[in-house]
A and B are shown apart, each in its own frame.
Chain A
Amino acid sequence: MTTATETIEGFVKNEYKYGFITDLESESTPPGLNEDIIRFISEKKGEPEFLLEWRLKAYRYWLKMVEPQWPQVKYPKIDFQKIVYYSAPKKKTDGPKSLDEVDPKLLETYEKLGIPLRERGRLAGVAVDAVFDSVSVATTFKGTLAAKGVIFCSFSEAVREHPELIRKYLGSVVPYTDNFYAALNSAVFSDGSFCFIPKGVRCPMELSTYFRINAANTGQFERTLIVAEDNSHVSYLEGCTAPMRDENQLHAAVVELVALEGAEIKYSTVQNWYPGDEQGRGGIYNFVTKRGLCKGRKSKISWTQVETGSAITWKYPSVVLQGDDSTGEFYSVAVTNNFQQADTGTKMVHIGKNTRSTIISKGISAKNGQNSYRGQVKIQKSAVGARNFSQCDSLLIGNRCGAHTFPYIEVKNATASVEHEATTSKIGEDQIFYCNSRGIETQDAVNMIVNGFCKEVFKELPMEFAVEAQKLLGVSLEGSVG
């Protein structure tokens, strides 16, 4: 008799389809980190003095810090002197003025990844900023956006063109003293995206940054800053992939969001860094600090993340609810298959009156995957009438994986209401057989159950990306049962 287990085992092994390497000449610093490297990066980018000073302060601060030990993840000690901190595709001029000046090999890479940088094609209607290793290579639809007063460009360009905005907002949400990786990033960040939505403007299209690590032994340290002025609105998407390499690579990004009065920022991530192979070799260490500040009254920040990649994920997109009546949301699906580890969650800090936050976290673990939800809900004394609702669900596939939940709740105002719900379930052979006995194949059954489990989060993603996310989840979990 064909057993369900055999059928499941027989499925094609999950192939990471973005694992190719682009052969490009690049300009890199030697491995290691010191003040000269930082000066080099800053000079390379033609940065103003204040920024170099800021980087150096961050570096000196970082030197005194120790790596965090509290996450529920295991990995060999990182040698920070073996990492290359700057790598950029070599180019003739200072920066491509138009797409025609971008190396065709780079354009090809993004085409292969399904991210056309030409301003037509499938993703028309989404403006893309593409970051390759350490630098931004192209930003699309700049003209259309500029007509509305929206600034969307690489971080380096923003430093050159809008230094006053950078000076005002850089580090205002995540100071360089925040944590070990944020300090490191502040010292060495090489590029990223900058986005500014002026007062009262509803951004006419989705903005998207696509991150790609290519060079070996290179860390990617990008910085994203989004500022939404009063009553403006923006939806921002972020995607990431990397080649398959046997050694681990570090990705330590910082994302800062600032929402002023009545502004709304929706930030969605589909994270698909190379997760390592079935034996747990290679893969990206994704150590990221993401935080949003609801500065003005009635502002809103919403994080949606689908985390399927990386060997280790360590990130807590958070919202500081400073303005009265502001809203923070966190919707997350995190998948750990094979030997992947994830310690992810959020922080909601309620400061303003009648602030509200919602946390929906879905963790899926398969094979030897370890998935931890770590979340903090903090209600400050000033947060009269604050409300939080948290729901953390874990889905286990097989017997070797693990799910852990670490909720921290701190309430200093008696008028606040905080709710926390958690469930753990398992895709059982009984469920699979039930689907089989109705004519549905095992893999389809698993996808159906997983997608059902993640529905609440997927519905928060922009339509096109929800479809991508569903497919990605299917691929990530192929061959996971049995």
Chain B
Amino acid sequence: MKQPILEITNLRAGVEGKEILKGLNLRISEGEVHAVMGPNGSGKSTLASILAGRDGYTITDGQIVYGGVDLVEMSPEVRAREGVFLAFQYPVEIPGVNTTYFLKAALNEVRKHNGLSELDAMEFLTLVKEKMKILHLPEDFLKRPVNAGFSGGEKKRNEIFQMAVLDPKLAILDETDSGLDIDALKVVSAGVNKLKRADNAQLVITHYQRLLDYIVPDFVHVLSNGRIVRSGGKELALELEERGYDWIVKEDLQTA
């Protein structure tokens, strides 16, 4: 029996008094890959931000249960330590802080939280070098400051690299495909696929079907005007690619 990881029920939320999510329902269980697709402004990034705990959003109704407990009550860092990971659409640069140092601090916070011993420098490097292979990263990557001066592709690869090191239970990929050329897209997708296991889950947020040629979802959801208006298998993504979002949005308006 597959355990549910994330259960979102009738979520209503917004920013600065403007409601963006208007009764969203989503249920993700172990071993599943879900894709949430939708036109610009449908609320995709808001969903990602709220799950990660970004400041400035207000939840007015509904529930988000993660691993059986209320996610909303947790601070962003506790969510991370509990296994929620957000791969950012626009990863920020942190000049002066080298990637090794940053990632070691992050991993040890997660380990401490879960009652594991902290890794020392040698143990950490061994682990990290293994994970770097997954993303085909050059050696000097670790010595560079976090995202500083990285190209768009490098930043995205760094996100998935961090995901590989932190080994989350629920990974949320917010438009990870945006700004990637086809080669980078393949590397990143292959990385994500390698990290898939029977006891974790991935929520892939994307505008384009293209990413789903490489990361094959078990479920595809269409987000429109703050709600999931249609769910289906991976064939739904193909249909969207062919026909665009308009027809679903219209159908939704007619039934509403």
The answer for the CA separation of A441 and B91 in the assembled complex, in Å, is 18
Q: How would residues 448 to 472 of chain A score, 1 for a CB under 8 Å from any chain B CB and 0 otherwise?
A: 1101110100000000000000000
Indicate if the CB atoms of B81 and A439 lie closer than 8 Å: yes
Asked whether B166 lies within 8 Å of A434 as measured between CB atoms, the reply is no
Residues of B within 8 A of A455 (CB): 96
For the complex, what is the distance from the CA of A452 to the CA of B74, rounded to whole Å? 28
Contact A440 B106 (CB under 8 A): yes
Structural contact, A2 and B106, CB atoms closer than 8 A: no
A69 lies within 8 A of chain B by Cβ: no
List CB contacts (< 8 Å) of B165-203 with chain A: 166
Asked if residues A433 and B55 are in contact (CB atoms below 8 Å), the reply is yes
**Residue A438 lies at the interface, judged by CB distance under 8 Å to chain B:** yes
Does A34 reach chain B (CB closer than 8 Å)?
Answer: no
Please tell me if A1 contacts chain B, counting CB pairs below 8 Å: yes
| B80-124 interface bits toward A, Cβ cutoff 8 Å, 1 = contact, 0 = none | 110001101001101111100111011101100100000000000
User: Is residue B46 contacting chain A, with contact meaning CB distance below 8 A?
Assistant: no
Q: In the complex, A437→B54 CA distance in Å?
A: 9
> A4 contacts the other chain (Cβ, under 8 Å)?
yes
Instruction: Answer whether A436 and B96 are a contact pair too, CB < 8 Å, given A1-B53, A3-B55, A444-B105.
Output: no
CB nearest to A4 among chain B residues? B55
A144 interfacial contact with B, CB 8 Å: no
A278: interface (CB < 8 Å): no
| CB-contact partner of A425 in B74, B79, B95, B110, under 8 A | B95
Inside 8 A of A439's CB, which chain B residues have their CB?
77, 80-81, 106-107, 109-110, 113, 166
Checking B57, B103, B105 against A1 with a beta-carbon cut-off of 8 angstroms, the contacting residue is B57
Is there contact, CB below 8 Å, between A438 and B80? Answer: yes
**Cβ of A440 to closest chain B Cβ, rounded Å:** 6
Q: Which residues from A are CB-within-8-Å of B96?
A: 449, 451-453, 455
A439 → B minimal CB distance (Å)? 4
Contact code string A419-452 (vs B, CB < 8 Å = 1, else 0): 0000001001111011111111110100011011
Give the residues from 44 to 87 in chain B that come closer than 8 angstroms, CB to CB, to chain A. Answer: 52-59, 72-77, 79-81, 85-86
Question: Shortest beta-carbon distance, A1 to chain B, in Å?
Answer: 6
Q: Which residue of A lies closest to B93 (CB)?
A: A431
B55 x A438 contact (CB < 8 A) = no
- CB < 8 Å neighbour of B94 from A5, A434, A436, A437: A434
* B39 interface residue (CB < 8 Å to A): no
Beta-carbon nearest neighbor of B98 in chain A = A452
> When A425-B95, A448-B101, A448-B105 are in contact, do A440 and B77 touch as well, CB less than 8 Å?
yes
Distance of A439 Cα from B111 Cα, bound (Å):
10
Q: In the complex, what residues of A have CB within 8 A of residue B95's CB? A: 425, 452-453
* B29 within 8 A of partner (CB): no
The answer to whether residues A437 and B53 also contact, given A1-B59, A448-B97 and a CB cut-off of 8 A, is: yes
User: Quick check: B77 and A452 within 8 Å, CB to CB?
Assistant: no
Report chain B residues within 8 Å CB of A440: 77, 102, 105-106, 109
Q: Is the CB–CB distance between A3 and B80 below 8 Å?
A: no
Q: Is the CB of B97 within 8 A of A436?
A: no
CB distance from B8 to the nearest CB of A (A): 15
Expressed in whole angstroms, the Cα–Cα distance for A455 and B143 within the complex equals 14
Residues of A within 8 A of B101 (CB): 448, 452
Choose among B57, B77, B94 the residue that contacts A441 (Cβ–Cβ < 8 A). B77
Q: Are B88 and A438 in contact (CB under 8 A)?
A: no
Chain B CB within 8 A of A7 CB: yes
Q: Is B162 on the interface with A (CB-CB < 8 A)? A: yes
Question: In the complex, what distance in Å separates the CA atom of A431 from the CA atom of B74?
Answer: 19
- The interface residues of chain A lying within 8 Å CB-to-CB of B107 are 439
Residues of A within 8 A of B72 (CB): 1
- Whether B52 contacts A437 by the Cβ 8 Å rule is yes
Task: Output the nearest chain A residue to B148 by Cβ-Cβ distance.
Answer: A452
Interface assignment of B4: CB less than 8 Å from any CB of chain A: no
Q: In the assembled complex, how far is the CB of residue B118 from the closest CB belonging to chain A, in whole angstroms? A: 12
Which residues of B approach A to under 8 Å, CB–CB?
52-59, 72-77, 79-81, 85-86, 88, 91-92, 94-98, 101-103, 105-107, 109-110, 113, 145, 162, 166
Would you give 11 A-B contacts (Cβ < 8 Å), ordered by A?
Answer: A5-B55, A434-B88, A437-B76, A437-B86, A439-B77, A439-B80, A439-B106, A439-B110, A448-B102, A451-B96, A452-B101
Given contacts A434-B91, A435-B102, 4 further A-B contacts (CB under 8 A): A3-B56, A4-B55, A433-B55, A436-B53
**8 nearest A-B residue pairs (beta carbon):** A452-B96, A439-B109, A436-B76, A439-B80, A438-B106, A452-B97, A3-B55, A4-B55
